[in-house]
Amino acid sequence: MNPEQDFNEDLFEHYRIVVDKGQSLLRIDKFLVNRIENASRTKIQNAARAGNILVNNRVVKPNYKVKPEDVISILLPGEPHEIENIPEDIPLNIIYEDEDVLIVNKPSGMVVHPAYANYTGTLFNALLFYFLGKTDKAGQKIFPWLVHRIDKDTSGLLIIAKNELAQAKLSHQFYEHSIKREYTALVWGDLENETGTIEGYINRSQKDRRIMTIYEDPEKGRASITHYRVIKRWDYVTLVNCSLETGRTHQIRAHFASIGHPLFGDTAYGGRQILKGSLYSKYKQFVENSFSLLKGQALHARTIGFIHPSSHQEVYFESELPADFQEVIERWDRYVMGRNFAS
């Protein structure tokens, strides 16, 4: 009964359990709480209410009675680690908030979740401080529950659940890839088509475990699909809108690098060097100055849409490009217009 980590690393745990032949009838929430380490009965019940418990491929309620040889599949949100519990007074750009969810616009350069070498200064530390002393309508303390991540040097929108049931319902949507997400990216080069799809099997690079590689062999990685649409071209670089069909680590960055168009300013994937255009001093200085404006790669999680955990209505949120990204775009506008005017 080993948990299988989902695409968002330890934010999801997937269990598959085959019930013993001699098992007597027992409520599934009582059955599972004794078989999954550190899983409370409330957490199991919330998973069932969110549709995250299947028996023989059918969704069941918390009062379902398990029978011998039932095959149980359960998706549980990952548990927070002790190192995360350090509230820090860090400003947050909150786009929306209600009883169940908070939508935050994360700046580039901020890690979402505490981990090795990044125990403080993260978005999670800021959320812990923001919710200090706050309670819900039932008088329960509010705790921030993460359901997804974006890279440290990527800016944009993130959904935060404010209770375990909301977390379970949102986790189910991420697991099913039904969350609608669009990114704006600036990539090197002039893309051949106005629209396109990049596909492949993504996994850690064998040469450098810090980055991801796209493989053709399905046994070497997980399926990953990115759709893109060109917004504007400048010959040297192209502004694109990306929509994710899957949500793997570094997906957009690795996908565009795999087709020879890494993101502008992306050091890890070869995008923080001149990949198109001459190396004469004026152009080189222009590109270097543009790199220096960016806090990370030119990638922004611009929109996010999902089914609200309480209203069950589809909701949609959008954020503007950060100032550094917008300034780089305007610089390319001015540079290309000036070059065309001079010629």
**Residue-level pLDDT at 5:** 33
**Above pLDDT 90, what percent of the chain?**
63
Which of 136, 155, 176 is a domain's end point?
176
220 and 330 fall within a common domain: yes
186 and 286 fall within a common domain: yes
**Residue-level pLDDT at 271:** 97
* Average pLDDT value for residue range 73-86: 68
Local confidence band at 278 (pLDDT 50, 70, 90 cut-offs):
confident
Compute how many other C-beta atoms are within 10 angstroms of the C-beta atom of residue 311: 10
pLDDT of 160 higher than 90: yes
pLDDT of 133 higher than 70: yes
Residue 306 belongs to a domain: no
Local confidence band at 254 (pLDDT 50, 70, 90 cut-offs):
very high
Which among 6, 70, 100, 151 is annotated as catalytic?
Answer: 151
Residue 312 belongs to a domain: no
- Residue numbers of the domain that contains 60: 4-77
Contact 252, 242 (CB under 8 A): yes
Compute how many other C-beta atoms are within 10 angstroms of the C-beta atom of residue 2: 8
**Residue-level pLDDT at 14:** 76
Residue 314 belongs to a domain: no
Q: Which of 16-20, 268-272, 321-325 has the lowest mean pLDDT?
A: 16-20
The mean pLDDT of the chain is 89
pLDDT of 2 higher than 80: no
| Cα distance between residue 119 and residue 130, in whole Å | 17
More confident residue, 188 or 35: 188
202 and 61 fall within a common domain: no
**Residue-level pLDDT at 269:** 97
| Number of structural domains the chain divides into | 3
Residues 6 or more apart whose Cβ sits within 8 Å of residue 215:
200, 201, 202, 203, 221
Residue 215 belongs to a domain: yes
187 and 45 fall within a common domain: no
Contact 137, 147 (CB under 8 A): no
For residue 228, give the CATH number of its domain. 3.30.2350.10
Backbone angles phi, psi at 210, to 5 degrees: -80, -15
Record the tokens describing residue 146, joined without a space: 């993460």
**Residue-level pLDDT at 1:** 31
| Cα distance between residue 141 and residue 53, in whole Å | 26
Local confidence band at 116 (pLDDT 50, 70, 90 cut-offs):
low
Is residue 151 flagged as an active site residue? Answer: yes
* Average pLDDT value for residue range 295-301: 95
* Average pLDDT value for residue range 141-152: 91
Record the tokens describing residue 150, joined without a space: 């974006």
Q: Taking the C-alpha atoms of 262, 264, 267 and 273 in order, what is their torsion angle to the nearest 10 degrees?
A: 90
**Above pLDDT 70, what percent of the chain?**
93
Is 325 in a helix, a strand, or coil? helix
Residue 333 belongs to a domain: yes
Local confidence band at 83 (pLDDT 50, 70, 90 cut-offs):
low
Place of tokens 């908030």: 97
Local confidence band at 343 (pLDDT 50, 70, 90 cut-offs):
very low
Tell which residue, 276, 268, 274, 279, has the closest CA to residue 290: 274
Which of 126, 160, 176 is a domain's end point?
176
230 and 152 fall within a common domain: no
* β-strands 237-244, 222-233 pairing: antiparallel
Record the tokens describing residue 303, joined without a space: 């929109």
Local confidence band at 84 (pLDDT 50, 70, 90 cut-offs):
very low
**Residue-level pLDDT at 51:** 85
pLDDT digits (tens, 9 = 90+) for 217-239: 988 998 999 999 999 999 999 99
Which of 77, 99, 121 is a domain's end point?
77
Place of tokens 């379902």: 64
Residue 318 belongs to a domain: no
Tell which residue, 155, 211, 158, has the closest CA to residue 184: 155
| Cα distance between residue 128 and residue 142, in whole Å | 9
236 and 258 fall within a common domain: yes
Angle of helix 164-175 relative to helix 41-49, nearest 10 degrees, comes to 50
Tell which residue, 104, 107, 84, has the closest CA to residue 96: 104
Record the tokens describing residue 140, joined without a space: 């329960």
Contact 325, 295 (CB under 8 A): no
DSSP-assigned letters across all residues of 209-229: TTSEEEESSGGGSEEEEEEEE
Residues 6 or more apart whose Cβ sits within 8 Å of residue 1:
15, 16, 17, 35, 36
* Average pLDDT value for residue range 287-311: 96
Residue 276 belongs to a domain: yes
Tell which residue, 36, 229, 228, has the closest CA to residue 48: 36
191 and 329 fall within a common domain: yes
192 and 337 fall within a common domain: yes
DSSP-assigned letters across all residues of 120-141: SSSHHHHHHHHTTT-B-TTSPB
**Residue-level pLDDT at 121:** 92
Q: How many residues does the chain have?
A: 343
330 and 212 fall within a common domain: yes
The highest-confidence range among 136-140, 264-268, 339-343, by mean pLDDT, is: 264-268
| Burial (CB count within 10 angstroms: exposed 0-12, middle 13-18, buried 19+), residue 329 | buried
196 and 328 fall within a common domain: yes
73 and 106 fall within a common domain: no
| Cα distance between residue 145 and residue 327, in whole Å | 34
* Average pLDDT value for residue range 113-130: 87
pLDDT of 244 higher than 90: yes
70 and 124 fall within a common domain: no
End-to-end CA distance of the chain: 68
Is 252 in a helix, a strand, or coil? helix
Residue 109 belongs to a domain: yes
For residue 69, give the CATH number of its domain. 3.10.290.10
